[in-house]
Amino acid sequence: MFKDIVKKWFAPSTGPVKREIIVNAESLETRVAVLENGRLEEFQIEHPTEERLVGSIFKGRIQNLEHELQAAFVDVGMKKNAFLHYWDMNPDDESRLDEDDDENSRRRRPRSKRFTNEEISRRYPPGAVITVQVSKGAIGNKGPRVTASLSIPGRYLVLMPGCNLRGVSRKIGDAAERARLKKVLDRLPLPKDCGVIVRTAGAGANKRSFVRDLRVLLTSYEDLQTGIREKAAPCCVYEEPDLAMRVVRDWMTEDIDRIVVDNPEVYERIRTEAARFSRRSRNLVQLYEGHQPILEHYGVEKQVEDTFRRKVVLKSGGYLVFDETEAMIAIDVNTGRHKGRNSQEDSILEVNLEASEEIARQLRLRNIGGLVVVDFIDMKPRKHQQAVYRSIRAAFRRDKARTNILPISELGILEMTRQRLDESLLSQMHQECPYCHGRGSIRSPLQLSVDIQRRLGAIIRRNQFEKKEPDLQVCVHPSVLDRLRTEDEEFVVNLQRDYKGKLTFKSDPLRIVESYSILDAGSGKTLYAFGEQKPI
């Protein structure tokens, strides 16, 4: 039975897959969704009014060096200085070799020199000008992370100023095609100080396409050089194109059936950009003229809303629970209502296999990363653990962010890291709740009743000590007052009987549920207040 489950799960899909790109372009927001047979697989959002950081190149100025952190802080003209590791300050260092997928050339090249603190201080003293590229956007209170290793991506090629590498994407696995592409690279007229890599989209492209793409990249490179020479630091010398243009450059592959755009101006821009690659690409772009919002028409809105849910239900009846903390993302896998026809072990395997694919999809859609811990349902057979591990690795192959996945531990825990380049989708579209301040919960009426009793008792004892008997008024939310009148009625009666002054309770439906205040009814003075009193 195990072999049948694994064979069924890893068997390639035989039916046709319809891949569509839906572009919703508005004045304040652009949203792009990739659908496979109507199921949301990729989703990105961008606000045109905000500066595009990741991929942009800045002419900055070294503010200070922190030898203990092995990093420099660079002023790039933003509120927060950019963070630059010492090993990212040398454009020719070994990190550039990570972009070259030719293993033979990687072995031939010597390791790049790592500078000592003294050499860093001499080469890049505070006030020195340096050209850097944003590799990771500002997240929370942290500024952007930058590198001195520059790259300008095109449709088929990636141009790398300050580098001499020439390579082919490792995702192009065919040996004959790799050899052909390397010959094409050797004939391209590249500047002496530039390297180049063939992107995955370059597989099967002819030499003319590469020459045309390189011509555009060299124009961008010349503009970059001009900006570096003529502009004063800090300033932006190269900005990544907007999301609509990146759709054509990065997502418009041979397996895309059509691109649907709801904005006539953006539609023309995308058609013009697609025409640079082929007539077929241009003809794939369609203008949406329906009355219903485009993402609602294609069923994307509902799927996006489901992305923000803490609990994600699987088709089999099992479910996932996502908990995001400051340090990591914890994912719990549960069987839920799943009732397999096979043994308990096989049923658990089926749920875990389905969960592994959904976890990869959810992390991609939510755009969350860092340290991720997955608590799979316990599997005793080691072969079941290996099957789930292979499944989740296969599911992450389509993810553009880098991932590092460790085998499932003896406790049934899988640990992994996912590259985080920018704010998560949740952070871009939501803000912290002003009521619960990110806790996700508020005090219960029971707890509020206890707090009110405790606070009233303290005020009454103080008044008795000071020989004062003011009229007290307690203002609460109706749900709390209902609790005081019913379940805690005896407490209220005893309190009113023992207190010589007047004690009244007042409900305010506009008050926040977990807030309350105790007033001196005579003077109107607030003696105690807890929480926000009115909705924000």
Domains, the chain? 17-48+245-301 (3.30.420.60), 57-111+121-241 (2.40.50.140), 310-429 (3.40.630), 445-530 (3.40.1260.20)
Fill in the DSSP letter of residue 502: -
Fill in the DSSP letter of residue 194: E
* Residue from 214, 107, 211, 120 nearest 158 by CA: 214
Q: Which helix (H) or strand (E) holds 160?
A: strand 157-161
Those residues whose C-beta lies under 8 Å from the C-beta of residue 87, and which sit 6 or more positions away, are 70, 93, 95, 114
Estimate the crossing angle of helix 344-366 against helix 300-307, to 10 degrees: 100
Q: At 233, list the tokens.
A: 């630091």
List, for residues 214-265, the tens digit of each pLDDT value: 988 999 999 999 999 999 989 999 988 888 888 888 888 777 889 999 999 9
Q: What is the DSSP string of 420-466?
A: --S--HHHHH----TTTTTSS----HHHHHHHHHHHHHHHHHHHHHT
> How high is the pLDDT of residue 146?
92
What sign does the dihedral 356-357-362-368 (CA atoms) show?
A: positive
Q: What are phi and psi of 500, to 5 degrees?
A: -75, -30
Q: What are phi and psi of 291, to 5 degrees?
A: -80, -30
306 vs 318: CA distance, rounded Å: 16
CA dihedral 4, 7, 12, 17 (to 10 degrees): 30
Estimate the crossing angle of helix 382-395 against helix 2-10, to 10 degrees: 0
> How high is the pLDDT of residue 467?
75
> How high is the pLDDT of residue 535?
54
List, for residues 490-503, the tens digit of each pLDDT value: 887 887 777 777 88
> If DSSP codes are grouped into helix, strand and coil, which group holds residue 133?
strand
> How high is the pLDDT of residue 1?
62
Residues of the chain below pLDDT 70 = 1-15, 91-114, 338-341, 438, 532-536
Alpha carbon 351 to chain centroid, angstroms: 26
> If DSSP codes are grouped into helix, strand and coil, which group holds residue 146?
strand
> How high is the pLDDT of residue 381?
85
Say if residues 209 and 277 touch (Cβ distance below 8 Å). yes
Q: At 20, list the tokens.
A: 């569509």
Say if residues 470 and 519 touch (Cβ distance below 8 Å). no
> How high is the pLDDT of residue 47?
86
> If DSSP codes are grouped into helix, strand and coil, which group holds residue 52?
coil
99 vs 152: CA distance, rounded Å: 12
> How high is the pLDDT of residue 91?
62
Angle 371-377-380 (CA atoms, 0-180°, nearest 5)?
115
> How high is the pLDDT of residue 391?
93
Q: Tell me which amino acid residue 106 is.
A: R
